[in-house]
Chains A and B, each alone.
Chain A
Amino acid sequence: GAGVSQTPSNKVTEKGKYVELRCDPISGHTALYWYRQSLGQGPEFLIYFQGTGAADDSGLPNDRFFAVRPEGSVSTLKIQRTERGDSAVYLCASSSGRGGETDTQYFGPGTRLTVL
């Protein structure tokens, strides 16, 4: 596709429910990143995929959060037993994965998650 797309754009759920957020990266990009952005703050790193594998998941806050990228393209961020503190905008980005200073991350529009 032309850019990174994320679905849904908005998700409202109740405390304790399970949610899945989807990211479609730019075609051909091997690197994919998930970030979480709370109101008035900059994005915080969650997890980085190179291909199908999670190369760095050090930003995941706890074991309720999990992400997959089974075919090295689309990724799904999964949150179990959601809590009100999980409410935020979840941003996905992708890059060529070649590294170096020109390896720009391109961001999707985000999914706004609200946990009631």
Chain B
Amino acid sequence: KNQVEQSPQSLIILEGKNCTLQCNYTVSPFSNLRWYKQDTGRGPVSLTIMTFSENTKSNGRYTATLDADTKQSSLHITASQLSDSASYICVVIGLSGGYNKLIFGAGTRLAVHP
């Protein structure tokens, strides 16, 4: 069964600190992996996209890593800001009938406190 598991379920950090969120997946066939940010009451927004051949990709203060052999990914946030408070969802894109089928993890709920 295609699954995406994330940890921790929730996380509280102080403003300015760094944090790392984890994602394990068992999706096959695998096209690419994305991390999405979802603010409360909003739809998810894509932060990063990684294919199986990429090990790391950065987008500002967000850095995603991917180990396609162990099927693990992480999202590292540096110098956190209050606006980083949101749910971060790991999404593995599998190929199904010629289109990108998104399989979502349950998300990590991050709270950044002043």
Interface residues of A (CB under 8 A from B): 4, 31, 33, 35, 40-45, 48, 50, 55-56, 91, 93, 95, 97, 99-105, 107-110
Contacts and interface: CB of A to CB of B under 8 A. Distances in A.
- Looking at A42, A50, A97, A101, the one whose CB has the most chain B CB atoms below 10 A away is A42
Nearest to B109: A40
Given A31-B99, A56-B97, A105-B100, A4 B43 contact: yes
Contacts of A95: 100
Contacts, number: 65
Nearest to B105: A42
Given A4-B43, A42-B104, A101-B93, A56 B99 contact: yes
Contacts of B107: 40-42
- Looking at B32, B100, B103, the one whose CB has the most chain A CB atoms below 10 A away is B100
Main secondary structure of the interface of B (DSSP, over half): strand
A112 B112 CA distance: 26
A48 B32 contact: no
Given A48-B99, A50-B99, A109 B44 contact: no
B100 A42 contact: no
Nearest to B44: A107
Nearest to A108: B43
B97 A55 contact: yes
Given A42-B4, A55-B97, A56-B99, A101 B42 contact: no
Contact of A101 (B45, B51, B91): B51
A45 B43 contact: no
A8 to B, nearest CB: 14
Interface in B38-66: 41-46, 49, 51
Given A50-B99, A101-B93, A109 B43 contact: yes
A50 B97 CA distance: 11
Nearest to A102: B49
B98 interface: yes
A3 to B, nearest CB: 9
A110 B113 CA distance: 27
